[in-house]
Amino acid sequence: MTPPVGAQHGVLLLSCPDAPGIVHAVTELLVQQKCTIVHMTWRLADTAQRQRVVIMVSKFAHCLNDLLFRNSIGELNLDVVAVVSNHPDLGRIADSFGVPFRHIPVTPDTKAEAVAALLDIVRDEQVNLVVLARYMQILSDDVCKQLEGKVINIHHSMLPSFKGARPYHQAHARGVKLIGATAHYVTADLDEGPIIEQELIRVDHTLSPDQLAARGREAETRALARAVRWHTETRIVVNGSRTVVFQ
C-alpha cells in the first residue's frame, strides 16, 4: 500500500525476549501510543532526521575524504558538526567540504584536557555519533563508557585477527591471501567491540606490506561508510558482543 503524500517515515527499533503476544503488544503500542510492556525497550526514529556526527582523524585522509564526499552527494545523511584531529594536517580537507576543523593535540601531559575537549564538543553540539576514521589514539575507558554505542571505529584488518598496530605488516609476515577491514563499536576492551561490517580484498605474495596497506585502504572506506550509514539509519541492534544489521 502506498503511503499518503506527505506522510512521515520512521523506523521502530525494539528488542525483547521471544514470547507469545509480541506482535499484539507492538501494534497496540503504535495504535494507542501508550502501553506498558515488561522487559521490552523501543525507540521510534525519524529516518529523515540528519544525524549530528563528529569525525575523528589523525594523518590518514582516505576515510575522512570518503565520508565527507559521500555525505556531500547525499549518499549519507549526516550533519558533520566537526572534524577533530590530534594533528593539523587534514584541516584542508575539512575546509574544502565546509566542515569546522578542531585541532586537539594529544600528549601524555595533555590527554586529560583532550578528553574533556572532545566530551565538550559532543555535549555542546548534541552529537549522535562519533566516527573514528583512522584516529590513531586510544579513547579512555571513561569516554568509552560515556559514549557507549555511539562510537564507531574502522580497524585496518579483519578482526579478531591481527589486532593492534601495523596489522598489514603482520598479515604480510603470515602470507595471507585475503586482507580486509572491520568497522565496529568502540568499547573499553581494545578492538573487541561488536562488529558491524567487514570488507575483504584478495591479495597475493607479490605485494609488499605498503601495497597491502594501499589495497586495505579501499576496504576501510567501504566498510566504514556502510557501518555509518546503517547506524544513522537505525538498522543496527547490539546484542551483547554481536550486532544484528537490518539491510
Let me know how long the chain is. Answer: 247
Strand segments (E) across 156-194: 178-185
Please say if 191 is a catalytic residue: yes
CB 89 within 8 A of CB 115: no
Question: Phi and psi dihedrals of 130, rounded to 5?
Answer: -110, 130
Assigned C-alpha cell, 199: 570488507
The alpha-carbon radius of gyration of the chain (Å, integer) is 20
CB 67 within 8 A of CB 224: yes
C-alpha angle 40/8/5, rounded to 5°? 145
C-alpha separations of 181 from 14, 157, 190, 194 in Å: 29, 4, 16, 14
Listed in sequence order, the residues at least 6 apart from 214 whose beta carbon sits closer than 8 Å to its beta carbon are: none
Candidates 46, 191, 204, 210; catalytic one: 191
What single-letter DSSP state applies at residue 220?
A: H
CB 42 within 8 A of CB 13: yes
Active site residues: 191
